[in-house]
Amino acid sequence: MESEYFDKKKTIELRKKHIGPSCKVFFSHDPIKIVRAKGQYMYDEKGEQYLDCVNNVAHVGHSHPDVVKAGTRQMGLLNTNSRFLHDNLVRYAQRLQATLPDRLSVCYFVNSGSEANDLALRLAWQYTGHKDVITLDHAYHGHLSSLIDISPYKFHQLSNTEPKRSIHVAPSPDVYRGKYRADHPDPAKAYADEVEEIIHQAHEKGGKIAAFIAESLQSCGGQVIPPVGYFQKVAEHVRRAGGVFIADEVQVGFGRIGSHFWAFQLHGEDFVPDIVTMGKPIGNGHPMSCVVTTREVAEAFMSSGMEYFNTFGGNPVSCAIGLAVLDVMEKEDLQGNALRVGRHLTKLLERQKENHPLVGDVRGHGLFVGVELVRDRVKLTPATAEAQEVIYK
Ligand SMILES: Cc1ncc(COP(=O)(O)O)c(C=O)c1O
């Protein structure tokens, strides 16, 4: 019987011919061709099973039947845009809002984490009337031009590595290998003071702060867990300067950290960002995302007089899928699962630390867990090649 799949060589050949060369594949010397997936497993064209340790999107498991059913049902009924009234849109907004502090009550539905962060910047610029943005070192916030500008993780790869004049890079609040470490008497204050100093310097040069943006826990930037109190103090400095606090929850939101639904909630009930951006797991692989903000920020955005329209954002199919993801999370207690499995995983990794001097640090919350490999536990020399090898294996 003829296979429905191309021979792998042919897929690679066609990919080289027609797909942009900067789009990379996993395991480039022998890429894996995955043709289906279920739950935590992926299968290649020969039926070989792989445990999926790299997708941070298939939040409730690949091809979850409830999510597939919700999407299929709505696709068979209607798909259109948010200029029509539809209950899926308002029902979904209501459900998302119920997971957030009351102040965060207004949603904009978009299609990717990048779109969400770009819109968050537009909201901040419009609300504050200011232009300058403070971002963290090593941060990644997306692939749009506006976001490469605030993503040192990306712009450091370019030959011209200087950020734009209106972009300011604060040190990553990394208490393992950063400027202020766990032995510092108050790393939260010390890192927040750095932000305050950046604000002073920006003011001296005539800049005005529109926003501070950070992932609630830095992911690509090195699985960094900011010291408790840091965000509150930063928010005070930034708001005093007339700016807003944007929490990027694209990677770390939706219960992944186990103890809370959103990672910014680790900082206590008195800390509420002005804007929260969401993506990746929100649709379990379906391209959708969201920006949630306060009534005041949304009203200011409205006052520009420009309509906000997004062809696909908030369409009835995406909202049906988003609702199904939330239902599955509740029904299967996936947040509780993240807490329990995360604790178990962390315990096992801690044991590896006892056995292997290469393991410098194990840190995380729930199923957001990082292991830092070092050649020397005192000098913290990065074990880059070793880390590559472990990741590859
Ligand atoms: C923290 C964070 N923000 C934003 C993005 C951009 O999301 P997308 O790739 O969906 O545009 C990413 C993607 O990796 C991310 O990790």
pLDDT in tens, 162-174: 789 999 999 999 9
pLDDT tens sequence across 287-327: 999 999 999 999 999 999 999 999 999 999 999 999 999 99
pLDDT computed for residue 156 by the predictor: 77
Ligand 1 in reach of 365 Cβ (< 6 A) = no
pLDDT tens sequence across 201-221: 999 999 999 999 999 999 999
pLDDT above 70 covers what percent of the chain? 99
Choose one of 141, 151, 284, 290 to mutate for the ligand 1 pocket test, by most ligand atoms within 8 angstroms of C-beta.
141
* Mean pLDDT of the region 376-386: 97
Ligand 1 in reach of 250 Cβ (< 6 A) = yes
Q: What's the gap in Å between 9 CA and the centre of ligand 1?
A: 30
Ligand 1: which residue has its CA nearest to atom 16? 251
Give the whole-angstrom CA distance, residue 268 versus residue 40: 32
Residue type present at position 125 = W
Ligand 1 in reach of 140 Cβ (< 6 A) = yes
Ligand 1 in reach of 315 Cβ (< 6 A) = no
Instruction: Find the helix packing angle between 316-331 and 87-97, rounded to 10°.
Output: 40
With contact defined as beta carbons under 8 Å apart, do 181 and 187 qualify?
Answer: yes
Give the whole-angstrom CA distance, residue 308 versus residue 275: 17
Give the whole-angstrom CA distance, residue 114 versus residue 171: 22
**Fold adopted by 65-331:** Aspartate Aminotransferase; domain 2 (3.40.640)
Ligand 1 in reach of 215 Cβ (< 6 A) = yes
Give the whole-angstrom CA distance, residue 381 versus residue 97: 44
Q: What is the CA radius of gyration of the chain?
A: 22
Q: What's the gap in Å between 115 CA and the centre of ligand 1?
A: 9
Ligand 1 in reach of 113 Cβ (< 6 A) = yes
Q: Is pLDDT larger for residue 393 or for residue 359?
A: 359
Ligand 1 in reach of 279 Cβ (< 6 A) = yes
pTM, 2 dp: 0.97
Ligand 1 in reach of 107 Cβ (< 6 A) = no
Of the pLDDT bands very low, low, confident and very high (cuts 50, 70, 90), residue 160 is low
CATH of 335-393, one of 3.40.50.2300, 3.90.1150.10, 2.60.40.420, 3.40.50.11540: 3.90.1150.10
With contact defined as beta carbons under 8 Å apart, do 342 and 367 qualify?
Answer: yes
The domain ranges of the chain are: 1-58, 65-331, 335-393
